[in-house]
Structure 1
Amino acid sequence: MQANDKEFQQRVVLVTGGTKGIGKGIAQAYLQAGAIVVVCGRQQPEALPTAADGRTAEFIACDVREASAVKELVDQVVQRHGRLDVLVNNAGGAPAVDAATVSPRFHEGVLRLNLFSTLHASQAANAVMQKQDDGGVIVCIGSISALRPSPGTAAYGAAKAAVLSLVSSLAVEWAPKVRVVAVSPGLVRTEQSALHYGDEAGIASVAQTIPAGRLADPQDIAEACLYVSSTRASYMSGTNLLLHGGGERPAFLGAANAEHNTQQTTK
Structure 2
Amino acid sequence: MVGAPEPDGRVAVVTGGTRGVGVGIARAFLRTGAQVIVCARRPPPRPVTAHGRTARFLPVDLRDAAAVEDFFGRVATDHGRLDVLVNNAGGAPFRRLDAADATRHARVIALNLTAPLTASLAAHRLMRVQRAGGCVLMVGSVSGSRPSPGTAAYGAAKAGLEHLARTMAVEWAPRVRVNTLVLGMVRTESAHLHYGDEHGVAAVARTVPAGRLAEPDEVGEAAVFLASDRAAYITGASLLVHGGGERPAFLDAANADHGEP
Question: TM-score w.r.t. structure 1 length?
Answer: 0.94
Partner of 2:59: 61
Instruction: Give 1:26-175 correspondences, 5 Å limit.
Output: 26-45=25-44, 47-175=45-173
Which amino acid counterpart does residue 232 of structure 2 have in structure 1? S
- Unpaired runs of 5+ residues, structure 2, are none
CA contact (8 A) 2:4 2:52 kept: no
Q: How many residues are treated as equivalent by the alignment?
A: 258
Counterpart for residue 250 of structure 2 = 252
* Runs of 5+ unmatched residues, structure 1: 263-267
Shift of 1:5: 8.6
| Counterpart among 179, 196, 206 of residue 198 in structure 1 | 196
In 2, the alpha carbon distance for the partners of 1:56 and 1:23 equals 14
Counterpart position of 2:236: 238
Aligned to 1:265: none
Taking the aligned partners of 1:64 and 1:124, their CA distance within structure 2 comes to 11
Quote the Cα distance in structure 1 between the aligned partners of 2:9 and 2:190: 32
Distance 2:5 2:205 in 1: 32
Counterparts of 2:185 and 2:104, CA distance in 1: 23
Deviation digits for residues 86-139 of structure 1 (CA, Å, limit 9, x no counterpart) = 000000000111112212222111011000011000000000000000100001
> Aligned to 1:261, what secondary structure does the other structure show?
coil
Q: Secondary structure at the match of 1:34?
A: coil
> Deviation of residue 236 (structure 1)?
0.5
Could you state the TM-score of these two structures normalised by the residue count of structure 2? 0.96
1:140 is displaced (CA, Å) by 0.6
Paired letter, 1:134: A
Residue type of the alignment partner of 2:123: A
**Secondary structure of 1:15's aligned partner:** strand
Following TM superposition, by how much is the alpha carbon of 1:147 offset from its aligned partner in structure 2, in angstroms?
1.1
Q: Percent identity?
A: 53
How many angstroms does 1:4 deviate by?
A: 9.8
Q: 1:150 to 1:70 in 2, by over 3 A?
A: same
Q: Deviations over 1:209-228 (max 9, x none)?
A: 11101000001110110000
What one-letter code is carried by the residue in structure 1 that aligns with 2:35? I
Partner SS, residue 98 of structure 2:
coil
